A = this chain, B = another copy of it.
C-alpha cells in the first residue's frame, strides 16, 4: 500500500474511533462493577477549564467527520451534540464510523494541494489539504482521543495502552511474533 491522503486520514480515524469505543465500553463496565454512577465518568475532567469526557468524545468525532468530508469536498454532517450517556456516545461513534466507511479513496485525489476553507464562528482560515490534515485535524483529533483515555485512567478505569491503540498492530497488516507490550503508558 502506498501513502495517500485517504490512507493518512480515513483508516486512521476509523482505527482510533473503534479503539475509543472499546475504551468507553470498558469505562461503562467499570462503573457498573464499582457501583459508580456513569455520569461521574461522563462529566469528569482533568482541570476545571478543560472539557469533560462527553465533550472530548464529541470533539474527537467532530474532527473525524470534518476532516475527511472537507478533504473530499463533501458537506460536513451536522451533529446535535446532545449526547449524555455512554450509549449515546457509542451511537455517535457508530454514526461517524459509518460515514468514514462511505468514503472512497478516489474522493481524496488531489486533496493534499487543494485548499480547504475553515470557519469557526466568524473566524476563517484556508490552507492546503495536507497542511490541514497533518497540522490541524490530526493533532486536534489525537488530543481529544488521548484526553478521553487520560480522564478515565485518572478515575481508576483499568485501561492499558493496548485499549487506546485498539490492539490494531495485532490485527493490522503486519506480522507479530509475540504480543507487543500493550500496558506501557
Contacts and interface: CB of A to CB of B under 8 A. Distances in A.
Interface of A: 1-5, 7-8, 11-12, 15-16, 46-47, 49-51, 59, 112-113, 118, 120, 122-128, 130-132, 134-136, 138-140, 142-143, 146-147, 149-150, 153-154, 156, 161, 164-165, 168-169, 172-181, 184-185
Q: Identify the 9 closest CB pairs spanning chains A and B, nearest first.
A: A127-B174, A142-B142, A146-B146, A3-B112, A46-B154, A125-B176, A47-B153, A124-B177, A50-B185
B123 A153 contact: no
Interface of A is mostly: mixed
Given A51-B185, A146-B150, A154-B46, A2 B135 contact: no
A123 B184 CA distance: 14
Copies assembled: 2
B8 A173 contact: no
Contacts of A174: 125-128, 131-132
B142 A139 contact: yes
Given A8-B134, A140-B165, A153-B46, A181 B2 contact: no
B46 A126 contact: no
B7 A130 contact: yes
A130 B2 contact: yes
A118 B152 CA distance: 30
A95 to B, nearest CB: 22
A139 to B, nearest CB: 6
Contacts of A11: 134-135
